[in-house]
Amino acid sequence: MALAGKTQSLNSVPGARTSLPLWQLLQSVATVVAAVRSGSSASPALEKVGAEQRPAVQALAFHVLRNLGAAEALRTKLASRAPPAQADALLCTALALACQADTAPYEVFTLVNQTVEAAKRSSGMHAQANFINACLRRFLREQEALVADLANDLVARWNHPVWWIKRLKADYPTAWQAILANNNTQAPMTLRVNVKKSDRNAYLALLGVADISAIASGQVGVTLQKARQVQDIPGFAQGVVSVQDASAQLAAPLLLGASSHAAQPMRVLDACAAPGGKTAHLLETGHCEVVAIDIDPLRCQRIQQNLSRLGLAAQLLTADAALPQTWWDGVLFDAVLLDAPCTASGIVRRHPDVRWLRRESDIAQLAQVQARLLKALWPLVKPGGRLLYCTCSVFRAEGADQMQTFLAHNTDARLMASPGQLLPHFCRNGDTVPDNPQDDHDGFYLALLEKSKV
């Protein structure tokens, strides 16, 4: 964790170019960090940030959240008592941005000066400016020893809660370190080409004309070399592409299989469908009629917006998928996609706040929800039909263990060939891989079940 090395300008961070002063950005970042530390998702806090500075604030906030364990350990060494919450968030923001020099967005001296300026210019933190300045100046003097000492602190070293680290170590005795390290990298931006409007080769050519570097991923995916704002992606507004991770792109074709070209449309249920990425992929991939359900009316609106942009249509229901008696018409489904609520432990590259928001008890609680959904939806699958169970989790309790229990209690279910557990940014041979290889994907679990015909 040495501090020697080059630093980069924030303008080199994809989507984060801005002319705003750094102190102003740091104020907003500290507000996001404070929200997460109080138990709230980063998303609502980021939505409150002005449009001009939001991309830069998000880039910096995600950087901080990926290094928050180290930052909090450093702050403990620098001050025997934590300052008020907002001031502490600003101090930890600066330490998180400075503790890894090879990935720091600014020179450490610049960060220190601008952090103190941010405190001085904030009515709520003005009184803490001298305290923050003293802590950061000491960090400058003792940075090498302070950072080196973090290697002995499990949370500081891996920037995950202790329970999360222990759970991964138990689930993956030989891979847990690689999973944690990969969780702290920036995820690639992968697109799914809408085959009803284009094909991948044509779209790659379109990107080439726009001087945007990309590689093919999966069956219809394209991974950009550098992330961009969606409004700057060619064809996005016209519904030619959608943003969807490579692992999530496996779901629709796996569920539909060879039946995607059947003469008669398949009747498909997409349970827990919001925000609609897999709903859209089902409609793009196969000859099917999709019923999409989500319990949240606002999230159902998001599904409709996404389908409208793509020129697709599905039957949308605002309902609890676990209570079919309240919404099901009694007609069995050829296929059911259950993308179940989970800890989201597989997508912390994209949502680094998740690791600090989850509690260990959430795993058991969510596993119960998943089991309840499986029990409720399996009777809706016609004999010979399929159900695809998936979660964006790497915890076995939400994947292999859940499926093992279900199969033990449902003898009419057969586990078909399916990917099982995908680990984030992780090769099958157990080695980490360079940025943006074809198999660079989020952590995900997929299990395809077929119902016996008799």
Question: CB–CB of 64/115 below 8 Å?
Answer: no
Structure tokens that stand for 452 in this block: 């016996």
DSSP state of 337: E
Q: Active site includes 392?
A: yes
Distance CA 333, CA 271 (A): 12
Q: What is the CA radius of gyration of the chain?
A: 23
CA distances from 376 to 111, 237, 322, 325, 370 (A): 53, 37, 5, 10, 10
Query: How many of the other CB atoms lie within 10 Å of CB of 15?
Result: 16
What 3-state DSSP class applies to 60? helix
Give 258: exposed, middle or buried? Use CB within 10 Å, 0-12, 13-18, 19+: exposed
Question: CB–CB of 179/424 below 8 Å?
Answer: yes
What 3-state DSSP class applies to 383? strand
Distance CA 194, CA 291 (A): 20
Distance CA 265, CA 263 (A): 7
Q: What is the dihedral of CA 129, 133, 134, 137, to 10 degrees?
A: 180
Query: How many of the other CB atoms lie within 10 Å of CB of 4?
Result: 7
Structure tokens that stand for 80 in this block: 């025997």
Question: CB–CB of 248/275 below 8 Å?
Answer: no
Q: Which residues have CB under 8 Å from 28's CB, separation 6+?
A: 49, 53, 57
Q: Which of 92, 272, 390, 392 is catalytic?
A: 392
H or E stretch at 179: helix 176-183
Question: CB–CB of 380/325 below 8 Å?
Answer: no
Query: How many of the other CB atoms lie within 10 Å of CB of 283?
Result: 25
Residues labelled catalytic? 392
